[in-house]
Amino acid sequence: MTAPSLLLDNVTRVHGTGDTAVRALDGVTLEVMPGELVAVMGPSGSGKSTLLNLAGGLDMATSGRVVIEGEDLTTLNAKGIAQLRRRRVGFVFQDYNLIPSLTAAENVALPLELDGERAGKARRHARQTLDLMGLRELSDRFPDQMSGGQQQRVAIARALIGSRRLVLADEPTGALDTHTGEDVLRVLRERCDDGVAGLLVTHEARHAAWADRVVFLRDGVVVDSTGRASSAEDLLDTASR
């Protein structure tokens, strides 16, 4: 059986202590398999961003395990986590986060260079990745010479350069109009259809519908998921309890 690219196993994250403690996530279990795009929806403060930060090793769980491609983050030290993040996990943010003084190809090459790859080789690789994603014409453009949608597609290329097969996207379409947002989702969907695992945080149902599964969070708890349906008996049972 294929191992999940990402596994959150009964993960809880508590901020603060005592009376002021806030359970941002409470016993969340979630799996993302290679080739699968999973969307997370929920109101503000439901724990979506906390979940994404834990999944990417940007934050540590109070209890439970976070496993990326078989590596349990709780067993790694800070250096190990940083390395795992550089090599295995790509992030896509709402505001693209491209470096303004670098071209698209240089931005995409950056994670490889930071991981010790020679600049020339890293840039060749970056151009190949941009080609593969149909973004060749953007290679030599600077961020301010690109539209929001183009920048976000470059950001996805950057997230998936090298050996990284897990992409964590936090509201990647939040700053884009309907059509441009769809272009970005299409690129993400195509990457996942090619075997990448994706976790997409969004508050728009229309965008979540591009995912294979949708998980609904409320107050740090998974309250619902499209993988499961309640029967009429369940509804009546719950009501009579």
Partner 1 sequence: MSVKQGLMALLAEGPMYGAQLRSEFEERTGGTWPLNVGQVYTTLNRLERDGLVEPTGEADSEGRISYRLTDAGVAEVGTWWTTPVDRDNTPRDELTIKLALAVTVPGVDVAAVARTQRTATMRHLHDLTRLKQDVMRKQRDAERDEPEPDESDSTANHDLAWLLVLENLIFSAEAEVRWLDHVETRLHRESLRPFRRSGDSAGAAKARAEVEETAYRREVGSQQQTDRTGARR
- Does residue 240 interact with partner 1 by CB under 8 A? yes
- Does residue 137 interact with partner 1 by CB under 8 A? no
Please state the closest distance from residue 46 (CB atom) to partner 1, in A.
Answer: 10
Determine which residue in the list 60, 99, 114, 235 makes contact with partner 1, applying CB under 8 A.
235
- Does residue 136 interact with partner 1 by CB under 8 A? no
Determine which residue in the list 35, 142, 216, 221 makes contact with partner 1, applying CB under 8 A.
216
If the CB atoms of residues 42 and 56 are measured against partner 1, the closer one turns out to be 42
**SS3 labels along the chain:** CCCCCEEEEEEEEEECCHHHCEEEEEEEEEEECCCCEEEEECCCCCCHHHHHHHHCCCCCCCEEEEEECCEEHHHCCHHHHHHHHHHHEEEECCCCCCCCCCCHHHHHHHHHHHCCCCHHHHHHHHHHHHHHCCCHHHCCCCHHHCCHHHHHHHHHHHHCCCCCCEEEEECCCCCCCHHHHHHHHHHHHHHHHCCCEEEEECCCHHHHCCCCEEEEEECCEEEEECCCCCCHHHHHHHHHC
Among positions 13-72, residues that touch partner 1 (CB under 8 A) are 41, 43
Among 4-12, 79-87, 90-98, 222-230, the segment contacting partner 1 (CB under 8 A): 222-230
- Does residue 210 interact with partner 1 by CB under 8 A? yes
Determine which residue in the list 214, 217, 220, 222 makes contact with partner 1, applying CB under 8 A.
214
Please state the closest distance from residue 42 (CB atom) to partner 1, in A.
Answer: 9
If the CB atoms of residues 126 and 214 are measured against partner 1, the closer one turns out to be 214
